[in-house]
Amino acid sequence: MSRRRLLYMGVSGFAGALAVAVAKDRLLIYPSQAVYNLKKDFKVVGQSSLKKRAAAKGLIYGAAFGRDFLASDKKLQASTVRECGILVPENELKWDALRPTPDKFDFTRSDWLAAFARTHKMLFRGHTLVWYQQLPQWFKEVVNRQNAEKFLVEHITTVTKRYAGRMHSWDVVNEAIEPDDGQQAGLRQSPWLQFLGADYIELAYRVAAQADPKAMLVYNENALEYSGYKEEVKRTAVLKLLERLKSRGTPIHALGIQSHLVAQEGALNAKKLRSFLSDVASLGLKILITELDVSDQKLPSNPAVRDRIVAGIYEDYLSVVLDEKAVIAVLNWGLSDRHTWLSTFTPRSDGAPVRPLPLDSSFKPKLAWNAIARAFDQAPKR
């Protein structure tokens, strides 16, 4: 690369990544080698909300919310009602939130979110019944090989029955595949696998279907989006799992692709992603984008530059996935940068607030909002 091409961008404070201008309007980010077009026009036609743009294509748009943030912030409530057609509790339906003791359930906070969704005519979705994380403190001492099935069945039955007929969809099992763990069929080493063996997955779907025959039952998974070797192996293992469940007549209806994208890292390979989506669709499954956000942890500090790069990633990703008609819903993991798990999960080393979501911290739409709106406007109708 010539010295002129290595012209250092006039953006201060690089947090881990090296950004180099390769042309007047193009920024190259190391180590991902991704080139971002900084002059891209994210023009949007009309004023309508993401919810309406999605609905015009037969799609559902929404986001995850924590009860405390939503209950205490009228502005967040107004943005939520305007933009979202579906709401998912960020933590309130997880084991550690619902199960203060082995024999008690506390639905206060999840009920609040369900009521908010209902009042504002939004769909409600559940996350998640079976996961290896966010288990209560007592779980380790109490649950074992002998009683694990009883706990699993009782939990799924009680929780799904509570919202039966009112749930659009349930992430029944979350993140069950981790090929790096070296278990059979790429399964993750989790307490459920350890206590019940591989059949815990099928059992979970059967119990959920019995308790709420109306809800769409989803298998939700992370790290499926990028083209790297690890992701390729994971996609293959997930497809095999879905094939097996379908071939055994398990009541499973959709795959949830979390879509926690990372600006400086993974490369998207549209061809590989499309073929994965079409393989899933050909099993007769729908697809939901369940937890979309774009980490800007390692991007240059200039917020305007970050916002452009993040928006470009949103539009590139959504334009690929929305081409697949089995994709029926897109949810962000949070709506505004004011409340995002990434501020603690992947904070920036320069201390600047992260900007991964469609609205800024004062609830103003950012370029990421435009990018999502454009992707919906360009998507084929379902």
Q: What is the binding site for ligand XIL (CB under 6 A)?
A: 90-91, 174, 222, 258, 291, 341
Q: What would the two tokens of residue 292 be?
A: 């979309």
Query: Between residues 305 and 368, which has the closer beta carbon with respect to ligand XIL?
Result: 368
Q: Of residues 92, 178, 225, 291, which has the active-site annotation?
A: 291
- Contact between 208 and 172 (Cβ < 8 Å): yes
From the CB of 42, what's the least distance to ligand XIL, in Å? Answer: 27
**At closest approach, how far in Å is the CB of 133 from ligand XIL?**
7
Alpha helices by DSSP H, listed for the chain, are 50-55, 67-72, 74-83, 95-98, 108-119, 139-142, 148-162, 191-196, 200-211, 229-247, 270-281, 303-321, 342-345, 367-378
Q: Token pair of 207, please?
A: 């119990």
- Report the residue number, 90 or 307, with the smaller CB distance to ligand XIL: 90
Q: Which of 83, 90, 92, 175 is catalytic?
A: 175
Minimum Å distance from CB 66 to ligand XIL?
A: 7
Q: Which residue is listed with tokens 């002059």?
A: 39
Smallest distance, ligand XIL to C-beta of residue 339, A: 9
Q: Respond yes or no: is residue 175 known to be catalytic.
A: yes
202 — phi, psi (to 5°)?
A: -60, -45
Closest CA to 212 of 148, 126, 283: 126
Min separation Cβ 202 and ligand XIL, Å: 21
CA distances from 271 to 90, 227, 242, 277, 305 (A): 31, 9, 21, 10, 28
Provide the minimum distance between the beta carbon of 5 and ligand XIL in the complex, in angstroms, as a whole number.
Answer: 38
Active site residue 83: no
Q: What is the DSSP letter of 38?
A: T
Closer CB to ligand XIL, 222 or 250, in the complex: 222
Residue nearest to ligand XIL (CB): 341
Toward ligand XIL, which CB reaches closer, 276 or 333?
A: 333
Q: Angle at the Cα of 215 (from 208 to 165), degrees rounded to 5?
A: 100
Nearest 5°: the CA angle 368, 309, 353 is: 75
Residue 323 has which token pair?
């081409």
> Residue 163 or 376: which CB sits closer to ligand XIL?
163
Q: How many residues does the chain have?
A: 382
Q: For ligand XIL, which is the closer residue by CB, 124 or 341?
A: 341
The residues annotated with a catalytic role in the active site are 175, 291
